Homo-oligomer: A and B are copies of this chain.
Amino acid sequence: MATITDPRAFLRSLYDAAVQRALPARNTAAHLPPPPDTHGPRRGRTLVLGAGKAGGAMAAAVDTLWPAEAPLSGLVVTRYAHVPPAYKFRPGRIEVVEARHPVPDEAGRRAAQRIVELTRGLTEHDLVLCLVSGGGSALLSLPASGLTLEDKQAINQALLHSGAAIDEMNCVRKHLSAIKGGRLAAMCAPARVVTLLISDVPGDAPEVIASGPTVPDATTCADAQAICGRYGIELPAAARAGLESGAFETPKPGDPLFTGHAVHMIATPQQSLEAAAAAARNAGVAAHILSDEMEGESREVGKVHAALARAVARRGEPFAKPCVILSGGETTVTVQSKGAAGQAAGRGGRATEFLLGCAIALQGEPGVHVLAADTDGIDGIEDNAGAIVTPSTLARAQALGLKAADFLDRNDAYNFFQPLGDLVTPGPTFTNVNDFRALLIV
């Protein structure tokens, strides 16, 4: 059994393993189809389309891997500041446009319109590579015919307040979009479409990631109407007409349109957790993955993880120690105290809030170290990805006059961990498979 001499470095190595597993540069090659013929009667070109927070890195990876002699062009939308510098300052064959997320802006709408235009004139010999990652739904927002962006946003707000389940909301959204729910694939016909996906959703369903622009949609206009009726969602006349006439119907599973298409999941939260688990086991430490889809209020999820770590530390259950406990998913932060502009009074994202809740519940439990960090390298809007809790965290904070509970009260976890020197700051990773948490119990 291994002795971990440097728990911080060990936990950081697990985070690095998780992030590496999610990097397009490392995981795209195996999933790329051969390019279309460059000569002869079946000659074709390759068009790259896509959207999502990892769009820039995915485009860069495809461009690097794609043969120089094969025609390659296209347009991918990503979030502002999400283009890897190497591709941003030395642009390649794929244009990468930046737009606003999570609330769409005009840059995103224009990019979506251009993507629609780029699909015109594709032939059966052409290949479309569609690069889809989390955030793609908002970044690639184009209302169905007759609807405005404002119409869609109003319906979206009504849905969010209706109590409808997430899959019910997605059903309505897909049917009021010109791109989602397989419609982008329909536009690309007769070309073959190969979709590369990075998942940031529970269950990793291709039809859910970025609302599935290139995959079949099993839900119908009638379903969307029923959901709007059930939750009392008012629809503009154009939306009602489109749903009633079936004009807004999405392509269904089994539609010949999808024949020959392929969907490859190049990175998922679970795969990154498994990579971290493998790294731990390689170092001689047992690893247990709790879940790849942990949700809930960050500080409360932190308390539950702390209780589990204490049970392992004190009783060796439900897992024998030493061990690593891993979890993924996407927790939330409810702002407790707001500043002048209605913004959070403090600094910090999901990872540091989780850790502060965890540290307070651990109360310096000996032998327990915890790392939490976002796989995109950005915890909320800060320059850190996350932080590390050690058995001495609370004592070191007290020596500096920092009261953990006060920082939690004002959502200021960043400013708790920063003076301790315990932030994890890898910089932006330009990929995203959500949160990463690792607890080492020795």
Contact = CB atoms under 8 A, between A and B. Distances in A.
A363 interface: yes
A403 B168 CA distance: 13
Question: Do most interface residues of chain A lie in helix, strand or loop, or is the interface mixed?
Answer: mixed
Nearest to A166: B363
A81 interface: no
Interface string A375-417: 0000000000000000000000000000101100000000000
Nearest to A294: B307
A327 B307 CA distance: 10
A290 B310 contact: no
Nearest to A231: B403
Indicate the member of A270, A293, A405 with the most B CB atoms within 10 Å: A293
A296 B303 contact: yes
A263 interface: no
Contacts of A147: none
A361 B294 CA distance: 10
Contacts of A363: 165
A359 to B, nearest CB: 12
Contacts of A10: none
B304 A296 contact: yes
A293 B317 contact: no
Interface of A: 163, 165, 270, 288-297, 300-301, 303-304, 307-308, 310-311, 315, 317-319, 325, 327, 329, 357, 361, 363, 403, 405-406
25 contacts: A163-B405, A163-B406, A165-B363, A288-B318, A289-B311, A289-B317, A290-B307, A290-B311, A291-B307, A291-B308, A291-B310, A291-B311, A293-B307, A293-B311, A295-B361, A296-B301, A296-B303, A296-B304, A297-B300, A304-B304, A307-B327, A307-B329, A318-B318, A318-B319, A318-B325
